Every structure is written in structure tokens, then in C-alpha cells.
Amino acid sequence: MIAWLALAAAAPGQTYANPVDLDYRYNFEQINEGVSYRTGADPVIVPFKGAYYLFLTLADGYWRSADLVTWRFVTPSRWPAEGIVAPAVSSDGERLLIMPSMTGQGAIYGTSDPASGRIDYVVRRMPVLPGAVKSGFEDSITGDQVPPGPWDPDLFRDDDKRWYLYWNSSNVFPIYGAPVRFAEGRMTYGSPRKAFIRLDPDRHGWERFGQDHSGTLPDGTPIKPFMEGAWMTQVGGRYYLQYGAPGTEYNSYATGTYVGASAMGPFTYAPYNPVGYKPGGFAQGAGHGNTFQDLHGNWWNTGTPWIGYNWTFERRIGLWPTVFDADGQMRVSTRFGDFPQRVPTTRVTDPDSLFTGWMLLSYHKPMQASGSVAGHPPSDAADENPRSFWLSPDAAPGATLTIDLGAVKTLRAVQVNFADYQAGRFGDAPDIYTEFRLESSRDGRTWRPLARTGQPRRDRPNAYFELPRPTAARFVRYVHVHIGGAHLAISDLRVFGTAGGAAPAAPALIAATRAADTRDATIRWRRVPGAVGYNVRWGIRPDRLALTYQVFADRVATGPAATLPLRALTKGQGYHVAVEAFDENGVSPLSRVVAM
């Protein structure tokens, strides 16, 4: 008991792992269809009065954090019954403004004390969006008309205190923008109203819809990509108009940016696009979020990883370190972007330096459980796939899931990712919380406390524990106590640390070849014996390989050479590429860097 109390009382760590450890809410939209799942999407994090506030789609409230690690849900005093989708959230220094997506004349909310949950109206009734057609009449748009809205809005306050609104979500129409004013409980649209940017998938390979930018639905039906989630950031006199594309339903969801010299443009496509991109690994997808500066001056970018097991829009949120280089390039670091990362308490200049170096120890390791349901074996909880899961025959306390790491290794963190299988919940309730404990063992017979959920009780679909001290163990055991859904299902029990050996050798890069369609390339390298996986890294400068595609060694083509098709390039743009290997001991040096 003393050991458990010591663990429970340990101070929160200063690391996190994506998906972010939140009490994601059960969605109500599919209640009549009986489809139950937890979700979070379209995040906005805004610093305000010494803390951070996080807003998501359909959360019935928001979260507060003092450190970007531990988040507390805040129940607001006022909130629309239909919920808020993809909100714009911004600060004027005295209050937060909260603007939901809308197709008509909705309200803008505000609070000067978000920690308390007290919400007031800033604008009780929006003016009609100039030129907007009625919902359902988008096909009739002509001239200066625009779709109903503003949907997927972003409110941006420039250094001169002038306000601007950017909006739209469509696979037909562009992102729009206009100056706006707030006075005496009203918002008014100024002029000019502009159509700023459109997708160009014929040139920008990453803007093609579908899994790995296939351009089609799973059945092969071609589909136009979506542009949405506008967000404006001003740094050093440059204005970065960011957008999500090509669709939230696949691993290819990413963030791009156009750059201009003023809030109303004109804007130019950045040659280093996309900026936020994470098609591989456990948490896949990085589009539609926001960019913010923390209390120490460091930049961060948020986004929306995809799950999509129960419903197309079943998602989570991710958080990645970001920098704006002196030459203007915006870089979002997703390298090892779902492994444990440090949250800095001072200013940092290299976002990659925030990677802890704690490696994944659990991939495809033997798993045993107290019981399982056919089709959902324990091994599914070690496959780094959030769409497969171990399913227990019941959710009674005492159910166990145990992983054998193969040898005694040094453990530093554990993430327990739950899945929703016929959960039967469609909103929050007092009995929706997660409770369990983790135990470790060197020999599989003598068990010691490792970590446990504590107070206050909350739901933890992606529970993350930084261990208070390095722990030597071969086995990790999950012991169940309570979950809010009807079934106990775990998609992945992820264990991080080090095996204590030498890091792998650098891969030998064989070739990086652009196809006749130069949006596509094929990267080939020699396999490294014992490698768990590889990071293919590329960028427009040989000394700045800003983009990463993480791929596991057993998921690339068989044979002496590993191959990765890369379909995210821009026609007419040169690139450089290299590969690094990783295993349970660490990360290799980079291969040679090759132009392509």
C-alpha cells in the first residue's frame, strides 16, 4: 500500500505522448444509429492569463492546463445544445472569444475568467455573412456569392489590434477572409472580402485525398480533396495562413501554409509544404489544428490524428513542437511524434531535441490476457494500430493484459490506449471514468507496483504515465478496475524505455527516384538487421530534413532492400532525402543525404 501511495503522490512528469492524454467525450451525433465512440478533433490551444485553454469539436466544454501536460476539463456555464464544431478561439488580452462554426446567424461567446467556466455572450446574434447562399444551395453560387457560414472559422487579432476572420471547409470552394470589427455587442464585416487559396492537387502531391494520397475512396472512386481549418499566425512580419487538407479520414491529413506580408495577403504557397505531416506510426494524421506560442516563447502546432474504427470522424488530438526559422520556413517536428516528448520549461531552438530518446519496447511482443473474444486477441494490443484491439470477455475488475518484453529492460513510460467497442455511451456521466493499475516484474512471478490512475477520477482513453524513476523489468501487466463503456477493449499497451544496447547502424540509402509524375517518389535503402523501424526524412534543404514518414520494418516490402513510395511532393520543387533506423536501443545516424 505504501508503494502505491508513493506512486499516486508522485509529481506529474514533464513528458507527454500523442495522442494527448485527455478525457475525450463520447459523441452524441450518432445516438440514433447506436454508434458510440469517444472523439476529439480540430483543436485550438490558446495561452491566457498564465495558463493554456484547449477547445475541441463537440466537447461540451474545454480544458485548462498550467503546463501542457495535465489537463482539467471545465464545464461552462453556457454552451449551445447542439455543441460547438471547429471553433475559432482568440484573445483580445482581456477575454477569450469563442466562435463556433455556423451556417447561419449564431453567437460568439466570451469569458474573462475561463478557469471558472463562466461564459457570456460577446455577440448574441451574428450578422448575415455577406454574399452567403442558404444551406443546400451551394451548387447555385455565382459571382461574389459564398457558401453558408462562416464554417471552420479563425479569428485573428493583429499587432495593431485589428481583427480578421478566415473561414471555410469544402472540396469545391476556397478559404475566404475579411476584416471584422467588434463594438457594443456586435461584429461587423469589413471589406474587402477575399477568396485566398485553393487546393492544387495536380501540383501538390500531398493535397490528394485518400490513404497515402491515393486520390480515391477505398472502393477506388475518385474524390476531390478538402481544404478546411484556416489558422493565421504572424511571426517576424510574415503572415502564415495555414489550412488542413486533404481530408480527416486517412493517414494523409496534414497542415499546409501560404505566406504573405499582410493579414489580407496576397499569399504564396510555401515550397516546404506540408508543414504538419504524420502519415506513419501509431497516431496518424496531423491536419486541422492551430499554432500557438507557449509561456516560454516556444511554438507548437496541434492537429487531428485519425482512428476511424467506429465512425469516419472518430479522432484524437496531437501536439508537436514547431519553429519558424530565420529565413521564414515553418517547421513542425513529427519525428517520433507519438513517442514520449519533453515539454520544455525554457526556450528551445531545436524541436527535435525534445524527443526523450525513450524507444518503443512493446511492438509485436508476446501478450497474454485473462480472457479474450474471438477476432480480438491479446496480440492486437501490441501492433501499433489504433483500429485493432484486444477485447476482454467482460469488464469486471481484475481482468489482466500482460506483455513480455523478452528480456529485462529499462522502462521509462507506459501509454494505455483504450478502444470503444459497442460502448453504449453518448454523453458524459458520473460513472464514465478510467481506473486501473500497472505492475511490473522481472520474472513473471513477483510483481511490483508500476503506476496507477489516481484522483480526481476522469476518463483516460489514452492514459500516459511517465514513471517517477527508471524501472528494470521484463513484464508489464495491466490490471483492470473500471471503464465507462460496456466493454473492456485496449488497442495498444505501449511501453517505452531502452534495451540498453548499441543503437543500430545507419541504413545504406540505395536510391531516391522521382517518378514521371514528380509528385511521387520511391525511396529504397538496405535493411538494418534488428531494426524495429525507419524514419524516411526529407526537405527542400539537405541540412533541414523537416518532414518524416515513420514506417515499421515489417511493413515494408520483403527482401534485402526496403521500399517506401512517397506521394507528398510538389511538382517543380527539388528535395533532399535520408533514412534513419531505430530499434529498442536508440536511433541510428542518418544515411547519406540524396537529392531528388
pLDDT in tens, 83-119: 999 999 999 999 999 999 999 999 999 999 999 999 9
Contact yes or no for 62/76 (Cβ under 8 A): yes
Contact yes or no for 510/526 (Cβ under 8 A): yes
User: How far apart are the C-alpha atoms of 563 and 560, rounded to whole Å?
Assistant: 10
Half-sphere exposure of 428 (CA within 13 A, CB side): 14
Name the residue among 61, 42, 62, 60 with its Cα closest to residue 52. 62
Residue range 286-296: mean pLDDT, rounded: 97
- Listed in order, strand segments (DSSP E) in 373-461 are 390-391, 400-418, 435-441, 448-452
pLDDT in tens, 142-161: 888 999 999 999 999 999 99
Q: What is the pLDDT of residue 13?
A: 60
pLDDT in tens, 582-591: 999 999 999 9
Return the DSSP state at 114: G
Contact yes or no for 417/461 (Cβ under 8 A): yes
Contact yes or no for 315/41 (Cβ under 8 A): yes
Name the residue among 388, 418, 390 with its Cα closest to residue 403. 390
pLDDT in tens, 344-403: 999 999 999 999 999 999 999 999 999 999 999 999 999 999 999 999 999 999 999 999
Look up cell 519533453; give the residue.
342
C-alpha cell at 8: 499516486
DSSP string, 162-191: -EEEEE--BSSS-EEEEEEEEETTEEEE-S
Average pLDDT of the residues of the chain: 95
Residue 407 exposed, middle or buried by CB count within 10 Å (0-12, 13-18, 19+): exposed
Q: Which amino acid is at 159?
A: D
The answer to whether residue 7 scores a pLDDT higher than 60 is no
- Listed in order, strand segments (DSSP E) in 60-143 are 62-65, 72-74, 88-91, 96-99, 108-111, 120-123
Q: Which amino acid is at 127?
A: P
Residue range 248-255: mean pLDDT, rounded: 96
pLDDT in tens, 397-419: 999 999 999 999 999 999 999 99
Name the residue among 499, 484, 542 with its Cα closest to residue 38. 484
The answer to whether residue 202 scores a pLDDT higher than 80 is yes
Q: What is the pLDDT of residue 192?
A: 92
Residue range 255-284: mean pLDDT, rounded: 98
Band (pLDDT 50/70/90 cuts) for residue 138 is confident
Contact yes or no for 582/589 (Cβ under 8 A): no
Q: Across-strand partners of 403?
A: 367, 476
- Three-state DSSP class for residue 546: coil
Name the residue among 396, 401, 397, 399 with its Cα closest to residue 377. 401
- Three-state DSSP class for residue 573: coil
3-state DSSP helix/strand/coil percent for the chain, to nearest 5? Answer: 5, 40, 55
The answer to whether residue 557 scores a pLDDT higher than 80 is no
Q: Three-state SS across 265-325? A: CCEEECCCCCCEECCCCCCECCCCCCEEECCCCCEEEEECCECCCCCCCCECCEEEEEEEC
Residue count of the chain: 596
User: How far apart are the C-alpha atoms of 132 and 140, rounded to whole Å?
Assistant: 11
Contact yes or no for 197/227 (Cβ under 8 A): yes
User: How far apart are the C-alpha atoms of 517 and 523, rounded to whole Å?
Assistant: 15
The answer to whether residue 1 scores a pLDDT higher than 80 is no
Residue 325 exposed, middle or buried by CB count within 10 Å (0-12, 13-18, 19+): middle
Q: What is the pLDDT of residue 559?
A: 75
Handedness of CA 74, 76, 81, 84 (dihedral sign): negative
Q: What is the pLDDT of residue 5?
A: 37
Band (pLDDT 50/70/90 cuts) for residue 10 is very low
User: How far apart are the C-alpha atoms of 582 and 596, rounded to whole Å?
Assistant: 24
Neighbouring CB atoms inside 10 A of 377's CB total 15
